[in-house]
Structure 1
Amino acid sequence: MTSSHCFHCGLPNPKQPHLLTIEGDQLAFCCIGCQGAAKTIIESGLGDYYKFHQPDQSPVFIELSDRQQQAFQILERNDVQAQFVHQISPNEHHAILLIEGISCSACAWLIDKRLTQLNGVTKAHVNSATHRLLLEWDPNQIGLSEIAKTLFFIGYQITPFLPSEEDTVIKRTQRQYILRLGIAGIGMMQAMMNAVALYSGQITQQHEQWLWWASLFLTVPVMLISARPFFTSAWQALRAKQMSMDVSVSLAILSAFFASLYATVIGHGEVYYESVNMFTFFLVLSRFLEFRARTQSNRNHHNQVTLPTLCKKILSEGELQTCSVTDLNVNDLIELQAGEACPVDGQLVSGTSEFDESTFTGEFTGVRKSVGDSVLAGSVNLAQPITLKVTALGANSSYNLIQRLIEQASQSKPRLALMADRGAQQFVWSTLIITLFIGLFWLYYDPDRAFWVVISVLVVTCPCALSLATPTALSQSLNQLKNIGFLLTKGYTIERLASIRTIAFDKTGTLTEGHFVVDHLERYPKLDSLDWTNDEVLALCHLLEKQSDHPITKAFPKQASSSPIGINNIIYNAGLGVSAVASIGEIKLGNAQFTHQSEQPNSDTILFLTLNSERLAAIRLKDRARASCSALFSELTKLNIQTNIISGDPNPKAANAFQELGFKGHYFFGAKPDDKLTILKKADKDSAFVGDGINDGPVLAGAHLSIAVNNATDLSKTQADAILLNDNLLTITQAIIIAKKTHRIIKQNLAWALVYNVVALPVAAMGLITPWQAAIGMSLSSLIVVGNAVRLRK
């Protein structure tokens, strides 16, 4: 027997459809293309694809109204996507989306599976703790509107992840929870009032029937509105052949309701409407409190700064025009007033000010910016009006890049989280089997109590706490790490960070500030004969070096004094120095080889300033250690972590400065990038490497755990597992402490969830608790897990 509609696409079949026999079933298709596609999908082992669509109906786009179609098509507009879609390449787009309708980890699994089946979707991962979807797709193969439609038809809606949109979704979801909670609460109170009259034994049979019917009408809204999300989630899980926690909850609620309905219709038996309303109320209350705890954490983390939607654009005539941020383009000029948050990444082209970059670094001290410096989206202008040139906006800004990296970190779960997910699935199956045997026993031992014992077992053993044990703790931990300026890019980083026993640091740019300063200027007789002051010498050096990109140029900032002579014909010699022509002869600034000097001490960086090859001055440069180095070495010692330094600097005497600051580990000098990884792996298996990402690519990619400091290369290109967003190296030790605490709390949560279920199951099986008491127990168990995870905020 064949269907009148195509098994693959749902369109009506012709009179003589194309047929395909799969496992004894004859399937009908409207064309040879659908037949071939179905054969390929099934033979490739992807037959589960057909669990998620309805082949006996018309295609889904026919069922959508014009208004719904328009809502989906808006997602394809370039100006809309510019706000949340990051274009890695023409064939690769990334986006973070908020998902409405998720109730448990099974929902996240279903969304992941369904989306990855779509042609063109390369990655889809849902964070069950934050309800965010990290999506990667090829826009040439599938549009974002098609992805949204796919989710819509399996019961979920997407919203672009924007701070303002997230607040809207949170408020809407909160209103829905309050509505469901209010209806369940009213139903519970009224049904219990009726139950008091029923249990009093002082009413007639006719009045008893009236109260039964009244309780039924009070319970129907609770079933249709308050309990509906549990039923929807359970149905979606069953369609995907998965066992979620809502399956057992739904079985309990539906069993009690239909047993009561049957008794009401036939006029005799037992009704349990008050219990149905009561444990529905407590279940919704539990989910609402969990939702409040989770969203409060996310608000504290993500919405420290709300990016403005309007800005003042500077027109070519110099006039100011208020416009939407979505109307800006790269290289546009905007004016930023004091107290305003920067809506885009930009380069300061006029003015000087201080900026609060705590959204990125966790440090609230203002950072001074002058012409030419970069200003990050989300930083706040603290001092005075300035002019910025737009360098990146929308999804390409640093603010959104941070959000993507955070979501990326949640993709790969630590082993404990994976074990908990597998355990929750297996636990549901085990509970249903055990419940079956418990029910059979009570049917034999005491049939009158069998039904309620089964309901209690189903409710009390719902593995909510087990499923929440790791996601809530990991979410809180990621937020807390971000707040101190430590950003994770991989999910397993927390687990590895908690277990490291050895940590190695690159020297230049990591333990040091990464730029030279003038430590000493030694004068020679020729300089004294010219009667130039030291400030004038440094001003001349600035004039020679100011057009160079070499790090040494930062050692010579602009001086208050002016150069004593004018120069021209400046020539830069890479790795050697710079020369120029002046009225009094040839001026050179560089190393001993370049300036033809015989002296070149090995312990420091020395530059010689010469006039016609005659020495004027020797300038000693120094790269200073970061101010937090001493405290860093001390804290790592307290944590029993071995500290090493692996440097490319060939000078072994450089270790002396760090030993004075409390460094007691091994100092490896003259190490090439490839050598650093070899040294690190020989030191310890559970080791970490901290580098600046400029010449540490191999070791950052190959280390057991890699951390890039804030002056590393572009965040989007880094291979590190974590990124230090501020200059305070003590943040690393704080992150280790938080990671260890997170690992400990996850273990506590899993232990609690396991102990609770081991104790609760036999108690419920012995008939010692009622269903509503079981609902309270399950709710309290979940709240204890969430509350324990919230301790990570401190």
Structure 2
Amino acid sequence: MNSNNCFHCGDDCGNNPIALDDKNFCCHGCKTVYEILSGHDLDYYYDLQSAAGASPKSIDGRYDFLDSTPIAEKLIEFNDGDLQIINLYIPHIHCSSCIWVLENLNKLNPYIKGAQVNFPKKTVRITYSSSDISLKEVVVLLARIGYEPYISLDDFDKKKKSADRSLIYKLGVAGFAFGNVMFLSFPDYFDLSSSNASGGEYWLNKYEPVFHWLIFLFSLPVLLYAGRDYFISAYKGIRSKMLNIDVPIALGILVLFVRSTLDIVFDWGSGFFDSLTGLVFFLLLGKFFQQKTYSFLSFERDYKSYFPIAITRITKGGKEETAQVHDIERGDRLLIRNEELIPVDGILIKGQARIDYSFVTGESEPVKKESGEKVFAGGKQLQGAIEMEALKSVSQSYLTQLWSNSVFQEDKASKFQTLTDSIGRRFTIAVLSIAFLSAIFWLYFDPSKALNVFTAVLIIACPCAIALSSPFTLGNMLRIFGRKKFYLKDTQTIEQLAQIDTAIFDKTGTITTAKKSTATYEGMPLTEAEASLLKNTLRGSNHPLSRSLYNLLAEENIVTLDEYEEHIGKGVEGSKDNEHIKAGSADFVGNGQTTDALTTAVHISSNDTYKGKYIFHNEYREGVSQVFEKMSKDFNVAVLSGDNEGEKQRLEKLLPKLTPLYFGQKPQDKLEFIKTLQEQGKKVLMVGDGLNDAGALAQAEVGLAISENINVFSPASDGIMDASKFKQLHQYIWASKKAMKVIKMSFILSLAYNLIGLYFAVTGQLEPVIAAILMPLSSISVVAFTTIATNFIGRNID
């Protein structure tokens, strides 16, 4: 970098640079930012990218409006006493060093608990202690280090940001220059030299040098503005010791410009400025097409908005009804059971709230709330059932953000992505080698063709089509799966699903359905008070057996329990006044009698006295035999159940012979079972109900939660499948494998195109501008192929 350029932002420091630590700065703002970063051991920021910062602007009084509580509340995403979360749009985010410094804000101010950058959207989500630092101080800190946020209340209300039109501007500049260069090159196209010029044609020949220099001037904005992104990307790639796909493109543009400039300076010819401007124009046109096409596919890409998550809404008559979360409106009264996610901000009306906000904040300490206090979307209720009044409609995008929150994500790396990157790097090295060898060959045999061959090879062999095949194929499959009520977290999950060789199923709530279960009671009759307490205790639980029994019992008056606790894998207990009841396994309730190990039952005890049991007759999902029969042909399958062996004989008749069945499995046992399989090299799919199976779902390569209109949202899962689509599970996996084959076929298509193009380029039969036209066409062909192929796969899913 020029020694007179600002060390922080790279701008020219002029005649009076500000010096510090042998470094020059253009203003006191940049010097202050450098002092802040270096003073907090964050000067590694400049190692990631030199001059990556932005010159901070004067901010005196600019953010005073953030001291207004009503305004701040519109902007704050989460506010629970001492902890607040704000999501800010930062236009200056542009590179890895920006991400690094923003995600290390806690080193600049210890009251900032954490920050997460969304690079594509240029946003940063900041969690901070509001009792120690205000929203205004957070924003001022960002502005002081050169990352001033763009804040508009209108934009926040509408959830829209101003569109980035830079690509359109660059395309317009390149198109304008290309048209004018083509027009001014008219004499050269018709070879109107002095030897054959006559009459009116002579004036064209006379002003030919003027036309050449005008062409040169038109080419400058194309090189310096329209095509600069290719140079920036190539430079960053080389500096990071990575050969990205923009390296050969940037090299081709630079070679064309230098050679053409030398041609007109030394009067060797007219140069190749028409090819240069045409190349950049068609490259940008291809990029614009890719952007538009991806946006077209992305308008339905919010597949998660189809979440089959329901909520229990209490009507004005006091009845409980199931409603989809997107139907919640302001003023609705909602019932939130134990382990359920709060889908919307609201006011606690009834019950004891003990809320886990770790999904939102990463803080695992539950927060207690009293009646009349505000509760926030994303919290999980941990202590029985509560009732709340909704203050707004559901922000579906907020729920999807929780699903992707890195706080509780495990890195399930995608080998295919690594393979794509590896192909891109190797491809670039191969292309550069071919280009240089071809140029050396033609320099020896026909120097006039060397430059054209060199640039044509660099352009025609650009691996853009290879880079596009994966996101378009998998992105379209996500959309198709969403329409089929199969909701996956991201594109990497499709690739993981295509690789599985072992499928593990939970029993209760997964291959059984709670909707058709029946139960008979054996034991001492329950008193009216005990029946009411049992009903209200079960009301707070989301376990499939609890929900089934709750629906089967007679209606009782709803009361608020004094105490409630659910013991995962064991049972539930509740207290009201001096009455205490337990419901669950025989060991949990303290049944000292001999129990029948061949039945599925919920045992009841009241005030430590065993009362009896409800014996369940499980109803298995329609098509469960066919699902297991198909799955067992391609995968190792097994059933892990927390229940006893009561259903073993029935399951052995339903499922294929020799299907492993494991009973009495606690949640930790399931997790360890999957770990053991993975240590043997197995790729495991875990299918569970999303409640007791959270650990196993997170441990497996792919964890699928079955949803049966219950609001058990499990961020540990990689996908959610509507229970009505259980019969199609094998088809979803089959479609994932087919999608991977489509990507491989698109690789072959792209490779065939490149080999044919390279032949014509190397032999000198292809002009650079024609290559630039063909390159986006190859991208179009790959996108069209992947889209048509994935749509065809989707039609074969019932």
**TM bucket, shorter chain:** 0.5 to 0.7
Change (3 A) 1:30 1:94: closer
Look up the match of 2:416.
416
Give the fraction of aligned pairs with identical amino acids, expressed as a percent. Answer: 22
Aligned equivalent of 1:671, options 652, 665, 676: 665
Shift of 1:698: 4.7
Deviation at 1:716, TM superposition (A): 7.7
Residues 595 and 608 of structure 1 are in contact (CA less than 8 Å); yes or no, is this contact kept in structure 2?
A: no
Q: Distance in 1 between matches of 2:612 and 2:740?
A: 57
Could you tell me how far 1:401 is from its partner in structure 2? 2.9
The correspondence for 2:693, drawn from 693, 696, 709, is 696
- Partner of 1:729, secondary structure, is helix
CA distance in 2, matches of 1:729, 1:749: 31
Q: Is residue 372 from structure 1 mapped to residue 366 from structure 2 by the alignment?
A: no
Matches of 1:74 and 1:663, distance apart in 2: 67
The match for 1:295 is 295
Q: What is the CA-CA distance between 1:508 and the residue it aligns to?
A: 1.6
Q: 2:537 is aligned with what amino acid?
A: S
Change in 2 beyond 3 A, CA 1:255/1:192: same
Contact 2:599 / 2:646 at 8 angstroms: preserved in 1? no
User: Residue 52 of structure 1 aligns to which amino acid in structure 2?
Assistant: S
Describe the SS at the equivalent of 2:335.
coil
Contact conserved, 1:123 with 1:137, CA < 8 A, in 2?
yes
Amino acid of the structure 1 residue aligned with 2:653 = Q
Match of 1:401 in 2: 399
1:215-255: CA deviation from partner (whole Å, max 9, x where unpaired): 44554554465434434444554565654333332332343
Residue aligned with 1:244, SS: coil
Which residue does 1:195 correspond to in 2?
185
Q: Contact 2:518 / 2:618 at 8 angstroms: preserved in 1?
A: no
CA 1:726 to 1:159, structure 2 compared with 1: closer, same or farther past 3 Å?
farther
Using structure 2 for the length normalisation, give the TM-score. 0.67
Distance of 1:588 and 1:442 partners within structure 2: 87
* Alignment-derived partner of residue 640 in structure 1: 634
Asked if the contact 1:453–1:764 (Cα under 8 Å) also holds between the matched residues in 2, the reply is: yes
Listed as ranges, the matches of 1:260-659 within 5 Å are: 260-264=260-264, 269-302=269-302, 348=314, 350=316, 355-356=323-324, 372=335, 391-393=375-377, 399-406=397-404, 413-429=413-429, 431-432=431-432, 434-489=434-489, 492-514=492-514, 517-520=517-520, 543=532, 545-549=534-538, 552=546, 554-557=548-551, 602-604=597-599, 620-627=615-622, 629-637=624-632, 640-657=634-651, 659=653
| Aligned-residue offset at 1:632 | 2.9
State which drifts further: 783-792 or 210-219: 210-219
1:74 Cα shift?
A: 7.5
Change (3 A) 1:696 1:590: closer
Determine whether 1:748 maps to 2:732: no
Task: Report SS of the residue matched to 1:622.
Answer: strand
Q: Which amino acid aligns with 1:372?
A: L
**CA–CA separation in structure 1 for the residues paired with 2:649 and 2:146:** 58
Q: Which structure 2 residue ranges, 5 or more long, are not aligned?
A: 24-29, 108-112, 193-200, 346-371, 380-393
Q: CA deviation at 1:269?
A: 1.7
Change in CA separation of 1:219 and 1:660 when aligned onto 2, cut-off 3 Å = same
In structure 2, the CA distance between the partners of 1:561 and 1:254, relative to structure 1 (3 Å rule), is closer
Paired residue secondary structure (2:634): coil
In the alignment, the residues of structure 1 paired with residue 166 and residue 565 of structure 2 have an alpha-carbon distance, to the nearest angstrom, of 69
Q: 1:299: how far off? A: 1.0
Give the superposition deviation at 1:769.
0.8
Q: Which amino acid aligns with 2:643?
A: D
Please say if residues 753 and 781 of structure 1, whose CA atoms lie closer than 8 Å, have aligned partners that are also in contact: yes
Q: Do the aligned partners of residues 706 and 157 (structure 1) sit closer, same or farther apart at CA in structure 2, a change above 3 Å counting?
A: same
AA aligned to 1:625 is Y
Specify the code of the residue in structure 2 equivalent to 1:691.
G
Q: Superposition pairs for residues 736-775 of structure 1, below 5 Å?
A: 736-775=733-772
Residue number in structure 1 paired with 2:47: 49
Change (3 A) 1:134 1:561: closer
Counterpart Cα distance in 2 of 1:99 and 1:7: 21
Deviation per residue, 1:649-686 (Å, 9 max, x gap) = 22243450573376862222223334334544666723
Amino acid at match of 1:401: L
> Does the CA-based 8 Å contact 1:578-1:590 persist in structure 2?
no
Cα distance change of structure 1 residues 715 and 218 upon mapping to structure 2, 3 Å threshold: farther
Query: In the alignment, does 2:777 pair up with 1:780?
Result: yes
Question: What secondary structure, in the 3-state scheme, does the structure 1 residue paired with 2:619 have?
Answer: coil
Distance (whole Å) between structure 2 residues aligned to residue 345 and residue 570 of structure 1: 24
Q: Residue 670 of structure 2 contacts residue 696 of structure 2 at CA under 8 Å; is this kept in 1?
A: yes
CA distance in 2: counterparts of 1:464 and 1:589, whole angstroms: 61
Cα distance change on mapping 1:92 and 1:434 into 2, 3 Å? farther
Q: Does structure 2 retain, via aligned residues, the 8 Å contact 1:348–1:372? A: yes
Structure 2 CA distance for partners of 1:149 and 1:350, relative to 1, 3 Å: farther
- Counterpart in 2 of 1:364? none
Deviation at 1:280, TM superposition (A): 2.1
8 Å CA contact 2:304, 2:482 repeated in 1? no
Q: Deviations over 1:64-89 (max 9, x none)?
A: 3669x959997999967976856899
Q: CA deviation at 1:303?
A: 8.2
Indicate how the Cα distance of structure 1 residues 61 and 347 shifts in structure 2: closer, same or farther if over 3 A, else same. Answer: farther
Residue identity matched to 1:547: N
Tell me if structure 1 keeps the 8 A contact 2:341–2:711: no
Q: Is this contact kept in 2: 1:595–1:610, CA < 8 A? A: yes
Contact 1:345 1:393 in 2 (8 A): no
CA contact (8 A) 2:93 2:147 kept: no
- Conservation of the 8 A alpha-carbon contact between 1:350 and 1:371: no
Q: Where does 1:24-39 land on structure 2 (aligned, <5 Å)? A: 37=38
Q: Distance in 2 between matches of 1:432 and 1:233?
A: 17
Amino acid at match of 1:503: A
Would you say the 8 A contact 1:607–1:619 is kept in 2?
Answer: yes
The answer on 1:733 being equivalent to 2:743 is no
Partner of 2:366: none
1:301-354 deviation line (CA, Å, top 9, x unaligned) = 2289699xxxxxxxxxxxxxxxxxxxxxxxxxxxxxxxxxx9x99964646766
Give the C-alpha shift of residue 402 in structure 1.
Answer: 1.4
- Partner-residue secondary structure (3-state), 1:509: coil
CA distance in 2, matches of 1:411, 1:359: 34
CA distance in 1, matches of 2:64, 2:762: 49
Q: Is contact 1:504–1:688 with CA below 8 Å preserved after alignment?
A: yes
Distance 1:201 1:591 in 2: 95
- Determine helix, strand or coil for the equivalent of 2:782: helix
Give the 3 Å change call, closer, same or farther, for CA 75–435 of structure 1 in structure 2. farther
Shift of 1:288: 1.3
- RMSD, aligned α-carbons: 6.0
Aligned-residue offset at 1:691:
2.4
3-state SS, counterpart of residue 546 of structure 1: helix
Query: Tell me, what secondary structure is at the counterpart of 1:708?
Result: strand
Q: The residue matched to 1:688 in structure 2 has which SS?
A: strand
The 1-side partners of 2:259 and 2:487 are apart by 53
Q: What is the CA distance between 1:206 and its match in structure 2?
A: 1.3
Work out whether residues 252 and 459 of structure 1, in 8 Å CA contact, stay in contact via their aligned partners in 2: yes
Shift of 1:285: 1.7
Q: Give TM-score, length-normalised by structure 1.
A: 0.67
